[in-house]
Chains A and B, each alone.
Chain A
Amino acid sequence: MTRYPDPKQVGGDFYSRNFAKNARPDTLILNLGPQHPSTHGVLRVLLELDGEYILRAEPVFGYLHRMHEKMGETKAWGQFMPNMGRVDYGHPLSWNWAYCGAVEKLAGIEVPERAEVIRVITHEMNRLTSHLLWWGAYILDLGAFTPIMYAFDDREHLLDLLQRPTASRLTYSYFRFGGVSKDLDEKFVEGTKAFIARFRQRLPMYKDLVTDNIILRKRVEDIGIIDQDMVTRYGATGPVARGAGLAYDLRVSEPFGVYDRFDFKVPTQTTCCSMGRYLVRMEEMEQSCRIIEQALEQLPGAEGPHLVKGAPKPQAKMPAGEAYFAVEGGRGKVGVYVVSDGSKIPYRVKLRAPGFSNLSCFAEACQGMLLADAVAVLGSLDLIIPEIDR
């Protein structure tokens, strides 16, 4: 039986030809992406379909590769900072923190208490924007248009607040070695308090409108099973791991900054399905609100300036050595590993993106699944393609 279309005749690139080698002769090979709107950027997934069922899948990425790690080897330590805001547009402050933390660990720079509290506040607010963006876009992928409008209404309030200290609205470059670039002002604090009060009223509305909706539940429940075994095998972190019942959150398990001071819960779900991951993120938004509230209370009592005295200049030399620092981003464990040879330019910067490991689960999770469900599973992983490709 000859395959139609015969890959030898049609051509295709290396990936599709290689993928077709192991394909059954009576199946169809389909490219999902790289221009498919539900892949949020330029992710391409090769699928082998038997009718409407997926037999095999293989993510192909690298379409958005910008050589961030290589760029780190050509710029001075401080000059690499703006890159960190651009690795992941969803939650850039976690990357800011991971890189700053790694360099601070390497050079033994102390961070003032006030700067640590400011970091927690802005980091958690950024997590809210990240989850709101995901929530709106995920529901949009599933075919509901209205929720993204409500999500962006709230997100816009957060961006207006965050632009006060950071002077950016999306790709922040706010953290510095030994603190943050600008202190929080009174209006920011007042605005954030008002926002939390407003957001607390909005969350039940989100629940009524989307979470409890029978159409959504029927669409996402019991699909894309990623259990604890898979999570540990692929190294998935963040809401994907917590959706599988693994209470792994770096804010609690390896507290960085001053996260050990705050009282919050690590939400977990044991269903392992897309709905589980959805519910984890919804619960995380509430927990983020709790952390921000507590941090705002601690802010006036936190001592020190927003930036340590004698903070290194962008062109400063760092002592030779190596350091690794990981923070809990919106998508999971964000890690940065830096190696210094004592010069003003890093010897090596390695970025550990959570999305990469989370996407790796997809190929196994979607075997035997309907094609339409694959989109719902991809969305539930909360993929940010720039972060995966780096």
Chain B
Amino acid sequence: MSAVKDIFQSVKDLWSLFVGLRVTGKYFMQPTLTVHYPRETVDEDVEQTYGGHVELVPKPKNPLKPKCIGCMMCVTNCPSGCLTVVKAKAPKPTPEEEQAMKEAEARGEKVKKPKAPKEPAKFMYDYSLCSLCGTCIENCPVGSLRYSNNIYFVGTSRKEFKLDLLQRLQRQAENTAKAAPEASEPEQAAETAKSEA
């Protein structure tokens, strides 16, 4: 009885190899699923939801300027210290204005000194240190940061991952203006700037 069982088992075992071959054969006949990167690109949907390096969000009315108010929340909360923000300084008063201010001070009046604009003068970002945790994005009070969908970002040296985000924003705005001259409305330009990598 057990001999019959053994033979039956051996046949079953042997058959399992053919079952496996049938599976691989079936999939061999189907179209390729992998993306051959330089010749093909990933689906638009995947690219749009991809969380690449951090980028600045432009003001809705002025795509050249970021929403950033220079509050430094991103810098203090970043776990890896990859952001460097320098606040804009107050504009230097002209000699005539300075003279007028001194005179007013001498008269004992309250002097209104020029205030620093609420914007960054410099916004440097070191992608090589970033761990893409999104802490800066969540803690920005004005929503001036977001993940870019720059999925094909490559570089050959560490230097290339040190990004000037203000420059990048301006470059994006210029590219958008070039690509869509009919989009004269700034809000529309800001919309399209988002889709620009």
Contacts and interface: CB of A to CB of B under 8 A. Distances in A.
Interface of A: 75-76, 78-83, 85-86, 146, 150, 153, 160, 163-164, 166-168, 171, 173, 176, 181, 205, 208-210, 212-215, 217, 313-315
Given A82-B132, A166-B51, A314-B77, 15 more contacts: A76-B79, A79-B135, A81-B133, A160-B43, A163-B49, A164-B49, A167-B49, A167-B134, A168-B132, A173-B133, A176-B138, A208-B20, A209-B23, A314-B79, A314-B139
B24 A146 contact: yes
Contact of B147 (A146, A167, A171, A215): A167
Contacts of B132: 82, 167-168, 173
Contact of A163 (B51, B78, B133, B139): B51
Contact of A150 (B22, B27, B46, B138): B27
User: Interface SS of chain A: helix, strand, loop or mixed?
Assistant: helix
B4 interface: no
A172 to B, nearest CB: 9
B106 interface: no
B77 A315 contact: yes
B135 A78 contact: yes
Interface in B1-40: 13-14, 16-17, 19-20, 22-24, 27, 33
Contacts of B134: 167, 173, 181
B148 to A, nearest CB: 11
A167 B51 contact: yes
A85 B132 CA distance: 11
Contacts, number: 80
Contacts of B43: 160
Nearest to B26: A205
A153 B77 contact: no
B17 A181 contact: no
A313 B51 contact: no
B50 interface: yes
Nearest to B147: A167
Contacts of B80: 82
Range of interface residues on B (Cβ < 8 Å): 20 to 34
Interface string B78-90: 1110000000000
A176 B138 CA distance: 11
B77 A163 contact: no
B77 A82 contact: no
18 contacts: A79-B135, A82-B79, A82-B132, A85-B131, A150-B27, A167-B50, A167-B132, A168-B51, A173-B131, A181-B134, A181-B138, A209-B24, A212-B16, A212-B19, A213-B16, A214-B16, A214-B17, A215-B17
A215 B20 CA distance: 11
Given A160-B46, A209-B23, A314-B135, A153 B33 contact: yes
Contacts of A314: 77, 79, 135, 139
A79 B79 contact: yes
B167 interface: no
Contact of B131 (A78, A82, A164): A82
A209 B20 contact: yes
B79 A80 contact: yes
Q: Please give me the 3 A-B residue pairs with the lowest Cβ-Cβ distance, nearest first.
A: A167-B51, A79-B79, A214-B13
Contacts of A205: 23
A307 to B, nearest CB: 9
A212 B43 CA distance: 35
Contact of B19 (A83, A168, A208, A313): A208
A88 B76 CA distance: 27
A282 to B, nearest CB: 16
Contacts of A212: 16, 19
B21 to A, nearest CB: 9
A181 B137 CA distance: 10
B23 A163 contact: no
